Homo-oligomer: A and B are copies of this chain.
Amino acid sequence: MRLIVPLRGVVQGRGGLFVGSLIPCCLFYFLQLYLKRRSPPDPPPSDSHLGELPRTSSLSNLFSRGSSMGRVRISARAVPVAKPTDSTYYIGLERVKTDPYDRISNKEGIIQLGLAESTLCFDLLQRWMSENLMESMMMQSDGNGEFDISSIAMYQPFEGLLELRVAFAGFMSRIMGGNVTFDPANMVITAGGTPAIEVLAFCLADHGNALLIPSPYYPGFDRDIKFRTGVELIPVHCRSSDNFTVTVSALEQALNQARKRGFKVSGILFSNPSNPVGNIVSRETLNDILRFAQEKNLHVISDEIFAGSVYGDKAFVSMAEVASSGEFDKSRVHVIYGLSKDLSIPGFRAGVIYSFHEDVVNAAKKLMRFSSVPVPVQRILISLLSDARFIEEYMAAHRGRIRDKHARFVEGLRGLGIPCAESCGGLYCWVDMRSLLTCYSEKGEVDLFEKLLSVAKINATPGTACYCIEPGWFRCCFTALADEDIPVVMERIRRLAESSR
């Protein structure tokens, strides 16, 4: 504001004629120079988003001024969505589709270690479904009577039937140790964990605002959050020396840096059990995070989609339990859950938003018009989650079998001299392949990813895709492998390691 004082002085008759003329003349001159330098030889683009567009699109845009000749263009925000991805996470998943390994029919195909899905308890699921699928869908809400098509065909509340929310609340409480209760009124059923995280990001942060997220983090969050909501993710880098555990000082530092860069930070998002590392967040750390969030007035989103896939000695603690302790303002706490991992039914697309903030629950309920679960599937899930005996049997088997598979897989790697990070949850382990890098850099890691994919024919997710700052770490999902596949994986890695030497 001081710059404009001189001319005001001139106008108000308080002198300064020279300065009052010189400054605007100079400014005007530099403005002309600037404009001249910036103006391209071609007419300037009319749309500020054009930087994102390929050349053909901006040409077609020129035709579009009322002319019938131009090819119609899509919205600027859809352009990056439509484009092929450059994340190694998705590149790997796509490559597997072109040549998937099969023990019998395609022994030389690519082995999938990139997708966190489990087939470990399909025998139990198959039995339950064979016995109960029909009945659960055709059951009346009173549990009796004849099948009535209107109970599955008609419109139902988009946020999920009350019976399903009650069943989910009971199930979540059970698998999360029994010390936490969930109120069905705070719960919204979503078509998988993916829309749950998107809707929360929409409700908690405005376009251009940011969430802090301890890294390495699940690479799918980039799409889930950035595709439509325009919310930025700011990694809070964790290190192997701490077994990739987040600390309050790291959060504080990231927050300050983000604010210096002009971001409005709306909250903290983290996975517990962590994805991709597989460790769980201790009660103390949860307390620390929530205290920090309260101090800085941030939201906390806890993604607990692997809560029932914990197989070590440490007990899982839900952020909902910590929030309910009475010590904190719990309205800032939001939990994501789903059945894709713990019940191994991603095909059913069933997730949950659990929030202590009334407005978030209200907004999420209405947004479920875009991501609701079909009523027939809701009916199946009500039966499944309410079948206490089956759930008990299933969860015990699920945990036990992950533990066994994890032990075999980690042992195989150890035999090759490849260590893993300490983990006790999730369908994956976090493998330290630094010894296989030809050079210790991001490029070295991507080279190794390519060699694993093309030479060893293994798709594992490199740490760079997870925003890990230390090169050489890979996430390997092992719960869709049969026991006899593990030696195949190890042999392929062994051969790759040998040929690299």
Contact = CB atoms under 8 A, between A and B. Distances in A.
Interface of A: 4, 7-8, 11, 20-21, 23-25, 27-29, 31-32, 35, 47, 49, 63-68, 70-72, 74-79, 81-82, 115, 117, 119, 122, 125-126, 129-130, 133-134, 137-138, 147-150, 152-156, 191-192, 194-195, 198, 202-207, 209, 223-224, 227-228, 266, 294-299, 329, 331-332, 340, 344-350, 357, 359-360, 362-363, 366-367, 369-377, 380
Given A72-B332, A134-B134, A377-B377, 9 more contacts: A24-B28, A72-B298, A74-B203, A75-B205, A133-B134, A133-B137, A155-B346, A194-B370, A376-B377
A359 B82 contact: yes
Contacts of A23: 28
A348 B223 contact: no
Contacts of A72: 297-299, 329, 331-332, 357
**Residue with the greatest number of chain B CB neighbours at <10 A, chosen from A49, A74, A223, A362:** A74
Contacts of A357: 72, 74
A137 B70 CA distance: 46
A364 to B, nearest CB: 9
**Residue with the greatest number of chain B CB neighbours at <10 A, chosen from A76, A147, A366:** A366
B191 A372 contact: yes
A237 to B, nearest CB: 23
Given A297-B70, A347-B156, A376-B377, A133 B138 contact: yes
A375 B377 CA distance: 10
Nearest to A206: B75
A20 B24 CA distance: 11
B156 A81 contact: no
Given A125-B149, A296-B66, A75 B347 contact: no
A204 B31 contact: no
Given A297-B72, A366-B223, A347 B152 contact: yes
Nearest to A69: B297
Contacts of A82: 203, 359-360, 362-363, 366
B370 A370 contact: yes
A203 B71 CA distance: 15
Contacts of A134: 133-134
Contact of A4 (B28, B119, B329, B359): B28
Q: Which 7 A-B pairs have the closest CB atoms?
A: A24-B28, A347-B375, A82-B363, A126-B149, A78-B203, A72-B332, A82-B362
Contact of A25 (B7, B266, B296, B371): B7
A205 B191 CA distance: 25
Classify the secondary structure of A's interface with B: helix
Contacts of A371: 191, 195, 370-371
Nearest to A147: B130
B137 A125 contact: no
A150 B119 contact: yes
Contact of A360 (B74, B297, B374): B74
10 contacts: A4-B31, A4-B35, A126-B147, A129-B138, A155-B347, A227-B367, A347-B374, A347-B376, A349-B372, A374-B374
A138 to B, nearest CB: 7
Contacts of A367: 81, 227-228
A359 B72 CA distance: 11
A49 B154 contact: no
A66 B252 CA distance: 12
**Residue with the greatest number of chain B CB neighbours at <10 A, chosen from A47, A156, A228, A349:** A349
B75 A294 contact: no
A330 to B, nearest CB: 10
Contacts of A74: 203-204, 357, 359-360, 363
Contacts of A223: 366, 369
A207 to B, nearest CB: 7
Given A153-B125, A373-B374, A28 B27 contact: yes
Given A82-B363, A138-B133, A191 B28 contact: no
Contact of A374 (B32, B68, B349): B349
B75 A209 contact: yes
A269 to B, nearest CB: 14
Contacts of A21: 21, 25
A7 B24 contact: no
Contacts of A130: 138, 147
